[in-house]
Structure 1
Amino acid sequence: MYPAAVIFDFDGVIVDTEPIHYQAFQTILEPQGMGYSWQEYIDKYMGFDDRDAFREAFQTAGKEVSQDVLQLLINRKAAIFEEVVKQGVTPYPGVIELIQELADQGIPLAISSGALRSDIMPILEQLKIKDFFTHIVTADDVPQSKPDPASYIGARDKLLYSYPDQLDSSSVIYAIEDTPAGIQSAKGAGLKVIAVSNSYPASKLQQANSIVQSLTQLSGGNWI
């Protein structure tokens, strides 16, 4: 049985761009003596949008950062990320097929991501899946990053508005997530959550309604 609608996270669910984000952050932070390990990124920073990730790095270093400097850092990091992405990215196994399958079933789709719109759109276009998503909510659209539920609330409400004949407040809407912060965010928006263990082991994703190792496991309507 399929859900009424599905909201996808982006990084760690559709594509594995986290290593690219990590290297872009380090390119900027290491010269300032604020670099950190990959494990620290996973444990502390993954799930933050760029704004909160930089804030956290400065706070950890005991330094202040103005809003103007913060925006410059975000812009520089986005430029580094964009250059790497131009070389091509690979989607996770089964995700393109799943998106196509859901679209063929007439199921409304959206994205809720902590990444910038400028990070996401070129990849969606590169993978030729942009048009499957009615709404894309990014870090540009909300004041707080996950685990705050604002991003998922925004995506959910946009779907409810766009599909009044298919969806209402009682509809079972699922989020697909890969991080504990993302799961908390989706749950805060009243969504069911399927976690895929791309970024964290299943033991870290127990707040989800169900956990899969690969999105290929959801093909054929194996949701509810």
Structure 2
Amino acid sequence: MDLPLQAFVFDFDGVIVDSEPAHYRAFQAVLEPLGQGYGWDEYLAHYIGFDDRDGFREAFRRGERELAEADLEGLIEAKSAAFDRELAAGLEPIPGAVECVRRLGELLPLAVCSGALRQEIEPTLAALGIAEEFRVVVSAEDVAHSKPDPASYRLAVERLGESLGKPLEPAACAAIEDTPTGAASARGAGLWVVGLDRGGDAGLEQAHRVVREPAEVDADLLAALGRGEQA
């Protein structure tokens, strides 16, 4: 089958693993003692897709409180420790995600592009038995600006090209994202975007194609994207 695409990039949280509830609980473990806590619905509406850095900045901005940059690293470290406790309990994969990674890995070079920390991503991929499927992992530490800024996807494409020993154009790559923030980042970097909308209300208008389950992302869909076909 003709497959004009040359690489595929996976988001991590909400696409490979169902980690958003764990991230929410870890944020609240840090914010609630400061009087800055918020509900799950507010997290979904305003915070999902941010990395830790911008998540704390947004919480303080919405709470109309000053956040000194000098204090930000301590908050991030505290949230990371809280999330490590969540990791120790284990994260469940999104149904069909592991199979999707392996299926696409037989077709194309793969990368992860995420606002999560590397120490969160790599052990989880290893626990799921899919770490070796990915040539590149771009995490929060690798860029100064998180999604929806396109910097992380630009870097993922650049590093994928380096791993292949040849320049790689963003338009020759596709990504899968489950949030408007992530879809905006990937599309802003020039990639084709598959939106994973498991609940049917994710607001993924910037995606070129929208699917309900990872099982729908197959060679036929990738070939259609590579030909420039949109839903």
Residue 185 of structure 1: aligned partner? 185
Residues 199, 56 of structure 1: CA spacing in aligned structure 2 closer, same or farther, 3 A cutoff? farther
The amino acid that maps onto 2:158 is D
TM normalised by structure 1 equals: 0.93
Alignment partner of 1:100 out of 99, 102, 105? 102
8 Å Cα contact 1:152-1:189 kept in structure 2: yes
How big is the shift at 1:171? 5.5
User: What amino acid is the match of 2:88?
Assistant: K
**CA deviation map 1:42-70 (0-9, x unaligned):** 11111110000001111122222222321
Secondary structure at 1:174's aligned position in 2? strand
- Please state if 1:213 is matched with 2:212: yes
CA-to-partner distance for each residue in 1:172-212, whole Å, 9 max, x for gaps?
2100000111111001110000000136615x112110000
Give the match's secondary structure for 1:134: strand
1:30 aligns with 2:65: no
Q: State whether structure 2 residue 115 is matched by structure 1 residue 140.
A: no
Letter in 2 for 1:177: E
Counterpart residue number, 2:159: 158
Q: CA deviation at 1:98?
A: 1.4
Aligned position for 1:42: 44
RMSD, aligned CA: 1.7
Pairwise CA distance, 1:32: 1.3
User: d(CA) in 1 for partners of 2:99 and 2:16?
Assistant: 11
SS of the residue corresponding to residue 6 of structure 1 reads strand
Which stretch shows the higher mean deviation, 54-63 or 145-154?
54-63
SS of corresponding position for 2:195: strand
| Ranges in structure 2 where 5+ consecutive residues have no aligned partner | 225-231
Q: Aligned partners of 2:170 and 2:186: how far apart in 1?
A: 16
* Residues in 2 aligned to 1:200 and 1:10: alpha-carbon distance in whole angstroms: 19
8 A Cα contact 1:136 1:155, kept in partner: yes
Q: Aligned residues, how many?
A: 221
Gaps of 5+ in 1: none
